[in-house]
Amino acid sequence: MSNYRQNKTLPEKDNSSEAETGDKPTPKAPISSSILDTLEMFVFALCVVVLILTSVFRLCTVSGASMENTFYAGEKLIISNFFYTPKRADVIVFHQTGKDTGDLNEPLVKRVIATEGETVSIQYQNDKMIVSVTDLNGNVIEMEEDYVKYEGMPIYASQTVTVPENHVFVMGDNRNNSKDSRHPQVDFVDERRILGKVVFRLTPFSRMGVVS
């Protein structure tokens, strides 16, 4: 019997099924979908900003010359009433409604001189105003007001007044040209009428900045 070696050729492995079941690259999201997602995020962020601004901050426009040279007519100010308690020397915006205010229909920008229970003394010396405040502890504080503008003759007489509870006494920085707590149409300002403290000057851009 003759010997012979039978050579068997193994069939080639079929990888087609493996190729079909293997992981396929994930198709990229269309550019339009990416743009839409970005736009949605932007709109959401904008809504949050608007909500914060409307609940914490307000925009106010200065009217008149009563706060020169600190603020001028037409300037845009940002004010905040977030956990705000009035303090001496703060610049505030208030709406003196609920009384005979005459032509004072717009919000007013003034500086706090004294708060509840404090006594304000206003005297004139060499055409300049000397303002002193007696605080609740009996300490007499003479205001150092390098921001004050004196132009023209004084229009108010000397006076000494005590601020009622939950009220403040305010004056404009342009002392001889300001209708403020010295005037009966303004008088003491009820704290509930205060819209907020001025925290930022928005315009003009050349004077933009934080208001201390």
Q: Specify which residues 141 forms β-bridges with.
A: 133
> Is 44 a member of any domain?
no
Q: What is the strand order of the sheet 128-134 is part of?
A: 140-142, 128-134, 119-125, 159-162
Average pLDDT, the chain: 84
Encoded tokens for 3: 């010997």
> Is 169 a member of any domain?
yes
> Is 182 a member of any domain?
yes
Go through the chain and tell me how many residues it has: 212
Distance, in Å, from the CA atom of 69 to the CA atom of 173, rounded to the nearest integer, reads 7
> Is 43 a member of any domain?
no
Q: Over the range 132-148, which residues count as b (16 or more CB within 10 Å of their CB) and which as e?
A: ebbeeeeeeeebebeeb
Q: What is the CATH number of the domain that holds 187?
A: 2.10.109.10
Q: 10 Å Cβ neighbour count for 45?
A: 10
Query: In this predicted model, what pLDDT tens digit does every residue of 24-39 receive, in sequence order?
Result: 555 565 777 788 878 8
> Is 181 a member of any domain?
yes
Distance, in Å, from the CA atom of 150 to the CA atom of 171, rounded to the nearest integer, reads 13
Residue 203 has what DSSP assignment?
E
Show the domain range for 63: 58-210
Q: In this predicted structure, what is the pLDDT of residue 102?
A: 58
Q: What sign results for the dihedral spanned by CA atoms 66, 72, 74, 80? A: negative
Query: In this predicted model, what pLDDT tens digit does every residue of 30-77 receive, in sequence order?
Result: 777 788 878 888 888 887 776 776 668 889 999 999 999 999 999 999
Question: Is 31 in a helix, a strand, or coil?
Answer: helix
> Is 97 a member of any domain?
yes
> Is 35 a member of any domain?
no
**Count of domains in the chain?**
1
> Is 81 a member of any domain?
yes
